[in-house]
Amino acid sequence: MQASAYAFKGSLGSEFQQRRVLSTFGGFGERRSSRRILRFPDRGFYCGSPLASVSVGAELSRARTKVQTISRSSAKARSVKAQASDGGLEDVVPTKPLGKYSGSVLPYVGFACLGAILFGYHLGVVNGALEYLSKDLGIAENTVLQGWVVSTLLAGATVGSFTGGSLADKFGRTRTFQLDAIPLAVGAFLCATAQSVQTMIIGRLLAGIGIGISSALVPLYISEISPTEIRGALGSVNQLFICVGILAALLAGLPLAGNPIWWRTMFGMAIVPSVLMALGMAFSPESPRWLFQQGKTSQAEMSIRTLFGKENVAEVMHDLRESGRGSTEPEAGWFDLFSSRYWKVVSVGLALFFFQQLAGINAVVYYSTSVFRSVGIASDVAASALVGAANVFGTAIASSLMDRQGRKGLLMASFSGMGLSMLLLSLSLNWNVLAPYSGTLAVLGTVLYVLSFSLGAGPVPALLLPEIFPSRIRAKAVAMSLGMHWISNFVIGLYFLSVVNKYGISSVYLGFATICVLAVLYIAANVVETKGRSLEEIERALNSAV
């Protein structure tokens, strides 16, 4: 059960669109924009990832149809309404539509999502393998060393999440992906060939550094290369592929019962997507925004031509110039994140991941095996697979809603559902009236909780934060927010059982429900809506308010 708990750490926790904004960011909602929102009509996409699920394909097909409809729309100006925090309306009037879109974004999103798959796979692979590798490495009776094998990944991920932002700013997004493949592949190789627990721990540490970097890098890169109209759908694909990676790890463990040394093959499998990611990124375009910030204008134009088509180069470059006009500031340092200019928006990123973890996702997954056994489901794999399937299903639904319902709305609905599910779990375990139905209600509460989590609290933060962070601090601010994610994750894993033993699982679940309520209140007061706005437009609006 301990293995199951750690295997899912951060995986279900590692992207809101009515243009509603709040007074916390001052004039964001009041500022009337004369600039149009960039839209990139699409002529045809194909999926670059061989592991794309049917749900992903269906969602991207809907996104393509949506964008094609835009490309056929009349040149007549349209008024786009955006609700401001005071309930007023802000008109954003585009002039003429962009030319026919002949670029192709999805292959490069697919290569980036290999990092998300590896994120989920490395988190989930130890779930079934721990028992068998413990016997082979002679630590079957040493739960402390088993805990180190599992939790070292989280320590490495914390380091990697902070390192990823600096690497992405220094070397660029695609080159950092290639560098990230090194610890991911080497870590997997060491784990697969380990003859001692020390080698296994080193391998897990390197793999953790790798997934920490990718946890910040994947949503950052996707947000910077995605057309505005489908940025939400593409951004939420990151979380979906994390879930796919977890399920892949669970399925990879099925032969273990008949082949005890299969655990080595399970770890070794992770080398393949690591190499594919490095090779894919060698042919992927760099983020136009990063290139422009580096003064590499001609290379930025080439990247835009590849992603959005040559007929849209002038429009996108104009928007980038407008965003950076008048700014000759050097690259932001870590201490800049705490300045009065940026702290409001940075604190939102930290708070979202803090609430995401303290709302109890890993604790629910930890206890799910015991809950399922109470109603006769004795298989750990079946219990984990049911939770994982609920997460994949909910994330697929979130992908289809992200660009229609908005990020903020999904976040609030998600935390509300999680709070109600936690209340149901608490009552099912403590209320005598429900004792005859406690097992069924506990399973129902667990599945509903995970489903609610995957609709918003899981995928939204990783999408929203690259959208609201100004380009000057984007990589470092995303990295810091992901650092909060891993630190909170580690602390919960360290103290959860002690708190449960002292206060009881029912009281702990009630505490999680309270945190969910606080999260809803915080989001209502502090989170901005970004649906339908280009990154440059969001940045200009937020910068005018700080």
Q: How do residues 399-435 score in pLDDT, each as one tens digit?
A: 777 767 778 888 999 999 999 998 888 887 777 777 6
Judge whether residue 12 has pLDDT over 60: no
Q: Is the dihedral of CA 329, 334, 339, 345 positive or negative?
A: positive
Write the CA distances from 514 to 3, 285, 362, 510, integer angstroms.
27, 45, 16, 6
Rounded Cα–Cα distance for residues 278 and 214 (Å): 12
What pLDDT does 269 receive? 96
Rounded Cα–Cα distance for residues 266 and 318 (Å): 48
Domains of the chain, each with CATH number or no CATH = 101-284 (1.20.1250.20), 337-545 (1.20.1250.20)
Query: pTM here?
Result: 0.65
Rounded Cα–Cα distance for residues 392 and 51 (Å): 14
For 453, residues 6+ apart whose C-beta sits below 8 A from its C-beta are 12, 13, 359, 361, 391, 394, 414, 418
**Angle, in degrees to the nearest 10, between helices 380-405 and 460-468:** 40
Average pLDDT, the chain: 74
User: Residue 430 is encoded by which pair of tokens?
Assistant: 């403590």
Range of lowest pLDDT (16-20, 98-102, 151-155): 16-20
What pLDDT does 306 receive? 87
For 14, residues 6+ apart whose C-beta sits below 8 A from its C-beta are 119, 215, 238, 239, 242, 458, 462, 482, 485
Judge whether residue 458 has pLDDT over 50: yes
What pLDDT does 192 receive? 96
Judge whether residue 119 has pLDDT over 50: yes
Judge whether residue 545 has pLDDT over 60: no
What pLDDT does 70 receive? 37
Rounded Cα–Cα distance for residues 283 and 177 (Å): 12
Residue with tokens 């697929």: 396
Nearest to 211 by CA among 154, 273, 149: 154
Judge whether residue 51 has pLDDT over 90: no
Rounded Cα–Cα distance for residues 372 and 444 (Å): 10
- How does pLDDT run across 357-384, given as a tens digit for each residue? 889 887 776 666 656 666 566 655 566 6
Question: What percent of the chain is modeled with pLDDT above 90?
Answer: 22
What element of type H or E holds 249?
A: helix 231-252
Q: Average pLDDT in the 161-176 region?
A: 88
- How does pLDDT run across 384-402, given as a tens digit for each residue? 667 777 877 887 787 777 7
Q: Which residue has the higher pLDDT, 118 or 78?
A: 118
- How does pLDDT run across 290-304, given as a tens digit for each residue? 998 888 989 999 998
Instruction: List beta partners, residue 193.
Output: none
- How does pLDDT run across 304-361, given as a tens digit for each residue? 888 888 877 888 888 788 766 545 566 677 888 888 888 888 888 889 988 988 898 8
What pLDDT does 348 receive? 86
Judge whether residue 134 has pLDDT over 80: yes
Range of lowest pLDDT (6-20, 121-135, 385-399, 484-498): 6-20
Q: Which residue has the higher pLDDT, 176 or 3?
A: 176
Rounded Cα–Cα distance for residues 179 and 171 (Å): 10
146 burial via Cβ count (<10 Å: 0-12, 13-18, 19+): buried
What pLDDT does 418 receive? 94
Q: Which residue has the higher pLDDT, 459 or 71?
A: 459
What pLDDT does 417 receive? 94
What pLDDT does 143 receive? 76
Q: Average pLDDT in the 488-493 region?
A: 75
Judge whether residue 453 has pLDDT over 50: yes
Q: Which residue has the higher pLDDT, 92 or 459?
A: 459
Rounded Cα–Cα distance for residues 62 and 56 (Å): 10
Beta strands in 78-204 (DSSP E): 80-83, 89-92
Q: Which residue has the higher pLDDT, 383 or 195?
A: 195
Q: Average pLDDT in the 79-98 region?
A: 36
Judge whether residue 50 has pLDDT over 60: no
Judge whether residue 449 has pLDDT over 50: yes
Residue with tokens 């998600």: 414
pLDDT band at 1 (very low <50, low <70, confident <90, very high): very low
